[in-house]
């Protein structure tokens, strides 16, 4: 609970609501969660959902007291994204696996393992510069690179989340971090293991 409360205290003027995860999809074909916040709390469809670590997904269904959230790792999930170092933009999308893919980055662009990825704000859902993840693998392609990304948020063990009730900018003290080890770049060399992000909150605020 501490990380969630600290985040809310650091952003007192930013409209947001914290919620507890009360259900999650059981199958691999769908990556969704259900939270105990809904219309009565100001939650609406297509609002961004985050944790203090980074982007989680977006609200896709809203009821009076609950809402359904589509995670970035779902095959239909995704967000506008950009590489922190070069500001190169390209959407990220899920495949149903724990990692996500950054798409439509031209082969000639310089992308390295360990580079951080944040939201671009171009999808009109997530505010700009929210951590998405870290590049763990880059493979050449034609005409686009194949870029695999480890999400910054612990999407496989979410307990509490934050729904942003606005698209106002959100300031994060640290940029996206991942926990993937043994990442490979285009030459197959080993990348350093990034530092682990803070643990998810365990109680409803």
Q: pLDDT tens track of the chain, all 205 residues?
A: 556 667 666 666 778 999 999 999 876 667 999 999 999 999 999 999 999 999 999 999 999 999 999 999 999 999 999 999 999 999 999 998 999 999 999 999 999 999 999 999 999 999 999 999 999 999 998 899 999 999 999 998 999 999 999 888 787 765 433 333 344 444 444 444 444 444 444 344 4
Q: What is the DSSP letter of 191?
A: P
Rg of the chain (C-alpha set): 16
Nearest to 136 by CA among 191, 84, 173, 66: 191
At 192 the pLDDT is 43
User: With contact defined as beta carbons under 8 Å apart, do 18 and 4 qualify?
Assistant: yes
At 26 the pLDDT is 73
Q: Is 130 helix (H, G, I), strand (E, B) or coil?
A: coil
At 62 the pLDDT is 98
The answer to whether residue 97 is domain-embedded is: yes
At 79 the pLDDT is 97
User: With contact defined as beta carbons under 8 Å apart, do 34 and 24 qualify?
Assistant: yes
Q: Is 101 exposed, middle or buried (0-12, 13-18, 19+ CB in 10 A)?
A: middle
Q: Across the strands, what pairs with 35?
A: 21, 67
Q: Which residues contact 93 (CB under 8 A, 6 or more apart)?
A: 72, 75, 77, 78, 100, 101, 103
The answer to whether residue 171 is domain-embedded is: no
What is the domain range of residue 58?
A: 2-164
The answer to whether residue 19 is domain-embedded is: yes
Q: How many structural domains compose the chain?
A: 1
The total of other beta-carbon atoms located within 10 Å of residue 139's CB is: 12
At 176 the pLDDT is 38
At 113 the pLDDT is 96
The answer to whether residue 204 is domain-embedded is: no
The answer to whether residue 80 is domain-embedded is: yes
Nearest to 175 by CA among 129, 125, 135: 129
The answer to whether residue 185 is domain-embedded is: no
H or E element, residue 148? strand 146-151
Q: Across the strands, what pairs with 192?
A: none
The answer to whether residue 194 is domain-embedded is: no
CATH number of the domain enclosing 134 = 2.40.10.340
Sign of CA dihedral 77, 123, 152, 143: positive
The answer to whether residue 175 is domain-embedded is: no
pTM of the complete model: 0.79
Q: Which residues contact 13 (CB under 8 A, 6 or more apart)?
A: none
């Amino acid at each position: 609970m501490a990380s969630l409360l600290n985040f809310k205290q650091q952003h007192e003027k930013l409209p947001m609501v914290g919620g507890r995860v009360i259900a999650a999809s059981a199958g691999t074909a769908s990556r969704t969660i259900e939270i105990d916040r809904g219309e009565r709390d100001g939650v609406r469809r297509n609002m961004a959902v985050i944790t203090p670590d980074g982007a989680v997904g977006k609200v896709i269904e809203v009821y009076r007291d609950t809402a359904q959230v589509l995670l970035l790792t779902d095959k239909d999930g995704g967000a506008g994204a950009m590489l922190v170092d070069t500001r190169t933009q390209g959407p990220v999308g899920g495949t149903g696996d724990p990692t996500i893919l950054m798409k439509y980055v031209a082969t000639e662009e310089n992308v390295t393992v360990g580079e951080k990825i944040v939201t671009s704000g171009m999808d009109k859902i997530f505010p700009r510069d929210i951590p998405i993840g870290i590049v763990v693998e880059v493979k050449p392609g034609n005409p686009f690179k194949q870029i695999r990304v480890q999400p910054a948020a612990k999407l496989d063990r979410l307990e509490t989340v934050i729904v942003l009730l606005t698209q106002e900018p959100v300031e994060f003290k640290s940029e996206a971090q991942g926990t993937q080890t043994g990442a490979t770049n285009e030459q197959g060399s080993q990348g350093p293991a990034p530092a682990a992000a803070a643990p998810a909150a365990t109680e409803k605020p």
